[in-house]
C-alpha cells in the first residue's frame, strides 16, 4: 500500500482542503514526505454525516458478520507488517522490536473483540416475561439489550502509533459495539495512520459495509478536535493524551446542547510502594535494577511509567536509592517521540529539580540525536510531597521521584490524598507478618485511587485480556467506570434500552423468542445458555 498523504473520508481517499503537513523523523529532526492533506470544515462534516448515515446499517449486523469484519481488519494490518513497521520506526523513533510487538497487540485486540462480538454477551440480553396474573398488579413483558451509542470520534495517541491510534483499542472497541468511527490521526505519525486507515477502509468495503463506518482525518492545531467533538452527529469520544487536551475536549462535549461522554486517558504517575521486607538482603539491588528498567523503558513514554516510588526511610531504603542512582547515571537517553515532547520533558525535569525539598540523585547522558534527553532520578521526603502538589505532577519521560516515608500509616494518609491513577504497584515480602499487615492497610487505600493494583511487578506492560483495567479515577481518566484495554472496553460505547410489551416481530434479534443469534440471555434473573433456548 503506498503512503500518498490523503485523508480517508467515508472510506475513500480525498485531497486535503486546508493545507498540508509532513512527518518528522524524531531521531534526526528532519521532515520527510509525502505531504499529508489537512481536512477543511466541509470534509469534517462529510465524515460525520457519512458516519451517521452508516450507523443503522452497521449496528444491524449480526454478531458473526461484525466479528468477521473485525478479523478482516486484523488480517489486513498483519499483511502490511514490514511496510507498516518501517514507516512507524521512522516516524516515532521507537525500535523495530517494540513496534512489531505493538502491531501484534493491535491485531490481537481486534481478534479478541471479534470473539467478544461473536459470543454476544456484551449485549447483556435480559428477559422478564409478562406475568398477567400477578397480584396486586400484572407485570408487563420486559426485555433489555445494549445498543451502540452512535458515531464515535477517536484521537490517535502519540506514544502508541498502533495500539492506541488508528485501529487501536478505542477504535476496535467502538467498531465492536457497532459504532462508526472517525479517527483524528496524530500528526507525529501520519504515514503510519494512513497505512492502518487503508487497511480498515479495505475491510469495510470487502465486508459490504457503507464507507461511513470509518474515516481518517488529518488536521493541525486544536480546531479539528473541537469541531469533531462539537459535531452533533458524534455521540462519544475516545482520547489518550495530555490532561490539558483531555479537559479541553471534555469542556466542549459538556457544553453541547446534547452533552456526550468523553473517555479520556490523561495523566498518571503510577505510584510504586516498596515495603521493608522487599528490600531485605541483596534483593535491594535487583529491585533497583528492575525499577530503573521500567522507568527508562521506551524513554519513559508509557502512560504506566512509574513516576513515583515510595521507599522506607531506612538504611535499606538508602541502598535502594544509591543503587538506582548508579544505574540512572549510566543510562543514555533514548529518542523521544517528538521534539515538543522532548522539550517538555526537559522543562519538567528542570522544574522538578528546582522544587523545595527535592534533591537530584542522578542524571544520565543525553542521546546522540536532537530528541534524546538524559534520564533523571530525584528524591524527596513524604512531608515535601504532601505539602507540594507539584511533586505529584507527571513528567512524561524517563524521570522518577523516590519518596521516603517513615511509616505505613503516614504513607496511607499521603496516598489517600493523591490524585487518581491508572496503576499502583506493591512490593512486599508475603512471608513477612509486618509486610502483610502493612499491605492490608494500604490495599484498600490504593483501591480507591487506582484502576489496577500490581503486586511484585512493574506497571509498564498492559496485558490485553478480559480481566484488564486500564483506567482509573480522575485525572487518570475522565470516567473511572471503564477501561481502554481489555474486552470490558466495548461497554463504553453501548447503552441499555428496555422494551416493554413490544411485539416479538418488532424486537431486536437479541431479544426475540426464537433467539436467532443464539445468545446467552438472563431470563428472570438466571443465565440461560443460547443452546438451551
Active site residues: 265, 303
Q: Distance between alpha carbon 252 and the CA centroid of its chain, in Å?
A: 21
Nine-digit cell at 217? Answer: 482525518
Composition of the chain by helix, strand, coil, percent to 5? 45, 20, 35
Cα(194)–Cα(36) distance, integer angstroms: 9
Cis amide linkage into residue 40, ω under 30° from 0 = no
Q: Phi and psi at residue 132, in whole multiples of 5°?
A: -65, -20
Please state the length of the chain: 533
Residues 6 or more apart in contact with residue 294 via CB below 8 angstroms? 305, 306, 458, 459, 460
Strands (E), 231-297: 236-240, 262-265, 272-274
b/e burial code for range 470-481 (CB count within 10 A of at least 16 → b):
bbbbbbbbbbbe
Residues 6 or more apart in contact with residue 502 via CB below 8 angstroms? 141, 143
User: If you search the block for the grid coordinates 515480602, which residue do you land on?
Assistant: 429
Of 129, 76, 3, 98, the closest CA to residue 334 belongs to 98
CA distances from 515 to 58, 123, 507 (A): 20, 13, 11
Nine-digit cell at 164? Answer: 492506541
Other CB atoms closer than 10 Å to residue 115's CB: what's the count?
14
Cα(385)–Cα(400) distance, integer angstroms: 13
Q: By three-state DSSP, how is residue 432 classified?
A: coil
Cα(113)–Cα(175) distance, integer angstroms: 9
Residues 6 or more apart in contact with residue 28 via CB below 8 angstroms? 369, 370
Amino acid at each position: 500500500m503506498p503512503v500518498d498523504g490523503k485523508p480517508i473520508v467515508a472510506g475513500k481517499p480525498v485531497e486535503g482542503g486546508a493545507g498540508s503537513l509532513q512527518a518528522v523523523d524524531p531521531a534526526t529532526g528532519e521532515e520527510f514526505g509525502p505531504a499529508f492533506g489537512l481536512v477543511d470544515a466541509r470534509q469534517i462534516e462529510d465524515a460525520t454525516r457519512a458516519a451517521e448515515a452508516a450507523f443503522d446499517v452497521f449496528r444491524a449486523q449480526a454478531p458473526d458478520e461484525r466479528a468477521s469484519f473485525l478479523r478482516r481488519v486484523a488480517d489486513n494490518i498483519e499483511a502490511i507488517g514490514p511496510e507498516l513497521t518501517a514507516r512507524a520506526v521512522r516516524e516515532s523513533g521507537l525500535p523495530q522490536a517494540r513496534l512489531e510487538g505493538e502491531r501484534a497487540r493491535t491485531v490481537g485486540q481486534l481478534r479478541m473483540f471479534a470473539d467478544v462480538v461473536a459470543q454476544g454477551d456484551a449485549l447483556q440480553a435480559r428477559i422478564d416475561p409478562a406475568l398477567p396474573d400477578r397480584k396486586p398488579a400484572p407485570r408487563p413483558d420486559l426485555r433489555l439489550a445494549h445498543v451502540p451509542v452512535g458515531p464515535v470520534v477517536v484521537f490517535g495517541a502519540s506514544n502508541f502509533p498502533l495500539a492506541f491510534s488508528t485501529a487501536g483499542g478505542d477504535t476496535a472497541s467502538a467498531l465492536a459495539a457497532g459504532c462508526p468511527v472517525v479517527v483524528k490521526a496524530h500528526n507525529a505519525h501520519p504515514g503510519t495512520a494512513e497505512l492502518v486507515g487503508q487497511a480498515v477502509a479495505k475491510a469495510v468495503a470487502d465486508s459490504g459495509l457503507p464507507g461511513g463506518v470509518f474515516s481518517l482525518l488529518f488536521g493541525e492545531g486544536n480546531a479539528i478536535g473541537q469541531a469533531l467533538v462539537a459535531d452533533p452527529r458524534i455521540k462519544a469520544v475516545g482520547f489518550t493524551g495530555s490532561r490539558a487536551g483531555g479537559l479541553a475536549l471534555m469542556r466542549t462535549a459538556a457544553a453541547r446542547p446534547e452533552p456526550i461522554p468523553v473517555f479520556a486517558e490523561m495523566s498518571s504517575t503510577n505510584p510504586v510502594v516498596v515495603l521493608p521486607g522487599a528490600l531485605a538482603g541483596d534483593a535491594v539491588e535487583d529491585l533497583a535494577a528492575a525499577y530503573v528498567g521500567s522507568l527508562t523503558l521506551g524513554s519513559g513514554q508509557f502512560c504506566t511509567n512509574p513516576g513515583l516510588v515510595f521507599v522506607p526511610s531506612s538504611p535499606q531504603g538508602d541502598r535502594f536509592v544509591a543503587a538506582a542512582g548508579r544505574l540512572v547515571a549510566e543510562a543514555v537517553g533514548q529518542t523521544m517521540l517528538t521534539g515538543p515532547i522532548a522539550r517538555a520533558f526537559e522543562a519538567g525535569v528542570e522544574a522538578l529539580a528546582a522544587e523545595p525539598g527535592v534533591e537530584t540523585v542522578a542524571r544520565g547522558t543525553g542521546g546522540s540525536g536532537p530528541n534524546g534527553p538524559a534520564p533523571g532520578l530525584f528524591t524527596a521526603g513524604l512531608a515535601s510531597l504532601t505539602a507540594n502538589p507539584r511533586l505529584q505532577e507527571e513528567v512524561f519521560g524517563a524521570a522518577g521521584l523516590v519518596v521516603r516515608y517513615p511509616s505505613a500509616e503516614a504513607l496511607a494518609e499521603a496516598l489517600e490524598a493523591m490524585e487518581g491513577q491508572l496503576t499502583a504497584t506493591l512490593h512486599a515480602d508475603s512471608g513477612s507478618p509486618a509486610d502483610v499487615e502493612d499491605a492490608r492497610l494500604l490495599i484498600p487505600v490504593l483501591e480507591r485511587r487506582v484502576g489496577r493494583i500490581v503486586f511484585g511487578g512493574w506497571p509498564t506492560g498492559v496485558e490485553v485480556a478480559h480481566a484488564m483495567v486500564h483506567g482509573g479515577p480522575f485525572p487518570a481518566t475522565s470516567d473511572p467506570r471503564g477501561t481502554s484495554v481489555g474486552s470490558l472496553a466495548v461497554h463504553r460505547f453501548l447503552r441499555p434500552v428496555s422494551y416493554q410489551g413490544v411485539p416479538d416481530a418488532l424486537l431486536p434479534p437479541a431479544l426475540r423468542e426464537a433467539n436467532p443469534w443464539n445468545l446467552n440471555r438472563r431470563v428472570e434473573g438466571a443465565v440461560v445458555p443460547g443452546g438451551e433456548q
